[in-house]
Amino acid sequence: MAVTAVEVVYRGIFQRLLSRAICRTIVLAARKEGKIGTAFGRYSDSPERNGIPAKYFAVVADDPLELQETLAQYEPKAVDVSIVVDDSLCKGVESWAWYGLQPINELTKEGGTVLVTSIQESADLLEDMHVKDTPYNLAIVKGPKSFSGLWVYKDDHTDVRILGALAKVCPQLVGIDAYKETIREQWDELKETSANRAYDRVQSTPVEPGQGNPEEPFSFDMPGWETMEEALVVRPVSVGGGFRGGEGGFQPERNEVFKKWSTRTMRPVINFETCTKCTLCWLQCPDTCFDVTPEGLYDSDMESCCGCGVCEDVCPVPECITMVHESNFNDNSSQHDHWKRDRDGYMAWLEEMRAASTTEKADVGRTHGFYEVGQYEKEFEQTGVAGDD
Amino acid sequence: MTISTTDIREKEQLISGSEAIAIACAMADVDVITAYPIRPYDTVMQFVSKLIADGTLSCEYIIAESEHSQFEIVKHASAVGARVFTGSSGVGWFYAFEALAVTCGLRLPMVAMVGNRALDDPGAFGTEHNDALAVRDLGWMLRWVDTAEEAMDAAFMAWRVAEDPRIYLPCAISTDGAFLTHSQQIVQMPSQEQVDEFLPPYDRGDFVLHPDNPITIAPQVNEDWLIEIRRQTDAAMRRARDVIIEAQDDMNRIFNREEEDPFIEEYMTEDADVVLVGMGTLSLPLKVTVRRLREQGKKVGFVRVKWFRPFPAPELQVALSKFKAIGIIDRDYSLGAPQNGGVLYTEIRSALYDVTPRPPMIGFICGLGGREVTVDSSTEMFDKTFEVAETGHAEEPLLWIGVRS
């Protein structure tokens, strides 16, 4: 039986058409080799929501009966290649329906490949990717994340570069010639050239069992019909109390399972030394993620933050709150704890984070969406492909 | 960069069920399409918009302010002789309920796609069949399909039967949310010539509402007239059986489709001891399960009900009476019904009342809210049906399958 399945992990809504194009082209190219396939999105996602992690799939088989056997209607149980078109999703995928955090490589078969578009090195990505007990490969298509609008996508050749790389890392799915023919038909010869170049250039690194992020991904059990609340009534959480259970400050109670992980693409970093305790971030945060410390400072709880950037926008103190891209962080630990423990170390780290941010806040007001303003251009320069013929 | 346009003349397409029905609209030269967004029906809106933007489809495309107006507009368009298409999902379909009900009595043909969706709240958009089934008593013809290709065929069939002067009734095509509306499959396309041969233009004759043909429709009627109108609508629904058989014969011939029964699909039933019966895309896990169980020597089969209205009672009486036991799978619920059974279960139970031998039966409710119907749950249902075959009696007539306890 020769069934091959691929997933594309992307961020809604601005990568949906990119993912759809990748999966459709896989199935159309498979037809050139006499195979049959299907392409579909994960229905329980809500990919129209900004930044929401979502999935698209392509399943290819030798004949219709074999394709039926795969029951390709739902998220496959295992895939040969997990394609990741935003490397911040290497931290894991949480669906809109909050089932916890699914490691990015959870569905990747033994010996399969995680194929990421990234300007990071494989060692950096492996800090985010959860450990797996079977070996697989990590392949990188060098390039920044491709984001675009609702009905068109940035024609930066990300689609065909991924397909070219896919032909190299998973030739049993579709060979490069079939992709090239299909790409020529669907687009043009320039994109065919891009695919071919990615085929030649893609580098794949073996990942051994145990290699990667050792954290246990967040998950929870769902109750049965006899034990859950009638009509799934959601009870309120109590108001909360002092900071970390202490006497001073305030910390709201939070839902035990409703947490934020990879939904966020940016997070606020806070300068506790310039904070004027004006309360605006605490008041305006739509997710109540600020804890009030005993000294009246505001510590952002990273399991609650969706990365919207409102806090940065309303903060009246220049550069007191700066939104910084998630690729700079490996955990959800408290910034306030860090500052209390080691003020000098924290301030040095803060400067480092500010330098990592490309935001020119004075000019643009606030950051928003997935990218810091100017981030794409900066990342594109870092790929070294600009000016490459 | 542009998104590639769909050339509907291509012999083979990679399309979803929604896209297949949108293309059918273009090939059937539909005159008026109305829409109001709700997932998963809204996928058909997107493809209709795209076909219009590409210049492939030319029609009046009206985005109404609600589902009620959406269905009222096509109802009136149908009265003036326009071929129409519309649709909805879940509670959107219910918001149009008044318009859905009156269309039948006024004898206005209409084709609608129901992208089957749970009736929320609590918020949910997975497949359940209760939305389309809610109109089962009113004079709507109801069709369930399981592939994108069948969705396209069913659309042509729906216009042909609905617009037949012997019928003049609305017809809804049910496509399971996600599995058909959001999943792209390889579809072999009919040619425009084949479609034109199969589907004549809509001709309302002297029932057309037009200044040159001044008629009044929908007058006030009470006890003097209404029961006769209901009896006429009933007669039309009864005639639909023969018109569907006729149309299926033509479709098989013109589209070079394999001979198939218009009303039900029987899968590996010939020598089967027990069969499961269901509607829509759960046929996929069921067919795979049938093959796997047969490899183990178990004589099992699957029967898929394609038309729910008119209900294929004669076909099911013949097909089902020969088995040692039958299990009916409902992707719907009818709370408080006899045996607490689902809608399909109750209908089949009624259809088999006069049959000898009458096979013992058991009902299953599964896959609600779009929950996956797996090979494991299908196997469990076959096992339970085998138990019924052995004892000749279902200890518990109705089981919920795949529910977390």
**Same domain, yes or no, for A238 and A202?**
no
**Same domain, yes or no, for A89 and A236?**
no
**Is A373 within 8 Å of A380 (Cβ atoms)?**
no
Q: Who contacts A282 (Cβ-Cβ below 8 Å, separation ≥6)?
A: A290, A292, A298
Q: How many residues does chain A have?
A: 389
Q: ipTM score here?
A: 0.93
State how far the Cα of B329 lies from the Cα of B304, in Å rounded to an integer. Answer: 10
pLDDT band at A326 (very low <50, low <70, confident <90, very high): confident
Does A218 fall in a domain?
Answer: no
- Find the mean pLDDT for residues A21-43: 95
Q: A154 and chain B: CB distance < 8 Å anywhere?
A: yes
pLDDT given for residue A387 in this prediction: 45
**Same domain, yes or no, for A249 and A202?**
no
Q: A244 and chain B: CB distance < 8 Å anywhere?
A: no
pLDDT band at A365 (very low <50, low <70, confident <90, very high): very low
Place of tokens 């689609």: A159
CA distance A121 to chain B (A): 30
**Is A55 within 8 Å of A10 (Cβ atoms)?**
yes
State how far the Cα of B49 lies from the Cα of B224, in Å rounded to an integer. Answer: 46
Place of tokens 């009136």: B76
State how far the Cα of B185 lies from the Cα of A38, in Å rounded to an integer. Answer: 5
pLDDT band at A364 (very low <50, low <70, confident <90, very high): very low
The reply to whether residue B2 touches residue A152, judged by beta carbons under 8 angstroms, is yes
The reply to whether residue A224 touches residue B3, judged by beta carbons under 8 angstroms, is no
- Find the mean pLDDT for residues B91-110: 97
pLDDT given for residue A366 in this prediction: 46
pLDDT (tens digit per residue) in B357-383: 999 999 999 999 999 999 999 999 999
State how far the Cα of A41 lies from the Cα of A58, in Å rounded to an integer. Answer: 9
Looking at the partner chain, which of A37, A43, A154 has a beta carbon nearest the beta carbon of B182? Answer: A43
Residue environment code for A34-66, b if the CB has 16+ CB neighbours within 10 A, otherwise e: ebbbbbbbbbbbebeeebbbbbbbbbbbbeeee
The reply to whether residue B14 touches residue A39, judged by beta carbons under 8 angstroms, is yes
Tokens of A47: 């990919």
Residue environment code for B73-87, b if the CB has 16+ CB neighbours within 10 A, otherwise e: bbbbbbbebbbbbbb
Report the number of distinct structural domains present in chain A.
Answer: 2
DSSP for B373-395? --HHHHHHHHHHHHHHHHHTS-S
pLDDT given for residue A27 in this prediction: 97
- Percent of chain B at pLDDT > 90 equals 95
- Count of CB atoms situated within 10 Å of the CB of B69: 17
**Same domain, yes or no, for A111 and A183?**
yes
Q: What are phi and psi of B87, to 5 degrees?
A: 165, 175
Q: Is the dihedral of CA A112, A118, A124, A130 positive or negative?
A: negative
The reply to whether residue A68 touches residue B284, judged by beta carbons under 8 angstroms, is yes
User: Nearest 5°: CA angle at B202, between B200 and B204?
Assistant: 135
- Find the mean pLDDT for residues B203-220: 95
pLDDT given for residue B53 in this prediction: 93
Q: Which residue range forms the structural domain that includes residue A304?
A: 230-381
**Same domain, yes or no, for A236 and A155?**
no
Q: A366 and chain B: CB distance < 8 Å anywhere?
A: no
From residue A214, how far is each of A129, A134, A204, A332 by CA, in Å? 9, 14, 22, 14
CA distance A218 to chain B (A): 21
pLDDT given for residue B2 in this prediction: 43
Contacts of B403 in chain A (CB under 8 A): 224-225
Of A207, A222, A254, which residue sits at a domain end? Answer: A207
**Is A45 within 8 Å of A55 (Cβ atoms)?**
yes
pLDDT (tens digit per residue) in B272-300: 999 999 999 999 999 999 999 999 999 99
pLDDT band at A298 (very low <50, low <70, confident <90, very high): very high
Tokens of A99: 């089932």
Amino acid at A347: M
pLDDT given for residue B335 in this prediction: 97
CA distance B125 to chain A (A): 8
Please say if the pLDDT value at position A367 is more than 60: no
**Is B37 within 8 Å of B64 (Cβ atoms)?**
no
Amino acid at A185: E
pLDDT given for residue B1 in this prediction: 37
Place of tokens 């397409």: B13
How much is the CA Rg of chain B, to the nearest whole Å? 21
Of A172, A207, A242, which residue sits at a domain end? Answer: A207
What CATH architecture is B265-400? Answer: 3-Layer(aba) Sandwich (3.40)
Tokens of B152: 């396209």
**Is A27 within 8 Å of A37 (Cβ atoms)?**
yes
Does A234 fall in a domain?
Answer: yes
> Which stretches does DSSP call E strand in B167-238?
170-176, 183-188
**Is A87 within 8 Å of A72 (Cβ atoms)?**
no
pLDDT (tens digit per residue) in A189-218: 999 999 999 999 998 999 999 999 999 988
**Same domain, yes or no, for A355 and A257?**
yes
Q: A17 and chain B: CB distance < 8 Å anywhere?
A: yes
- Which residue of chain B has the CA closest to A56? B183
DSSP for A7-25? EEEEETTTTHHHHHHHHHH
The reply to whether residue A186 touches residue B281, judged by beta carbons under 8 angstroms, is no
Pick among B186, B295, B366 to test the A interface (most A CBs inside 10 A): B186
pLDDT given for residue B169 in this prediction: 98
Q: Who contacts B342 (Cβ-Cβ below 8 Å, separation ≥6)?
A: B328, B330, B331, B332, B333, B334, B363, B364, B365, B398
State how far the Cα of B383 lies from the Cα of B296, in Å rounded to an integer. Answer: 13
Work out the mean pLDDT of chain B and round it to a whole number: 95
| CATH number of the domain enclosing A162 | 3.40.920.10
Pick among B2, B184, B268, B372 to test the A interface (most A CBs inside 10 A): B184
State how far the Cα of B252 lies from the Cα of B238, in Å rounded to an integer. Answer: 23
**Same domain, yes or no, for A157 and A46?**
yes
pLDDT (tens digit per residue) in A232-283: 888 888 999 999 989 999 999 988 877 888 888 889 999 999 999 999 999 9
What is the location of CATH 3.40.50.920 in chain B?
A: 265-400
Topology of the domain covering B12-254: Rossmann fold (3.40.50)
Q: A225 and chain B: CB distance < 8 Å anywhere?
A: yes
CA distance B251 to chain A (A): 23
**Same domain, yes or no, for A47 and A158?**
yes
pLDDT (tens digit per residue) in A152-186: 567 889 999 999 999 999 999 999 999 999 999 99
**Same domain, yes or no, for A245 and A146?**
no
pLDDT given for residue A71 in this prediction: 82
State how far the Cα of B344 lies from the Cα of A188, in Å rounded to an integer. Answer: 51
Of A154, A174, A207, which residue sits at a domain end? Answer: A207
**Same domain, yes or no, for A95 and A20?**
yes
Q: Who contacts B242 (Cβ-Cβ below 8 Å, separation ≥6)?
A: none
pLDDT (tens digit per residue) in B154-200: 999 999 999 999 999 999 999 999 999 999 999 999 999 999 999 99
**Same domain, yes or no, for A67 and A193?**
yes
- Which residue of chain B has the CA closest to A43? B178
What stretch of H or E contains A356? Answer: helix A343-356
What is the location of CATH 3.40.50.970 in chain B?
A: 12-254
**Same domain, yes or no, for A243 and A283?**
yes
Q: How many CB pairs under 8 A join A and B?
A: 70
Q: What are phi and psi of B364, to 5 degrees?
A: -130, 140
Q: B49 and chain A: CB distance < 8 Å anywhere?
A: no
Please say if the pLDDT value at position A14 is more than 90: no
pLDDT given for residue A373 in this prediction: 60
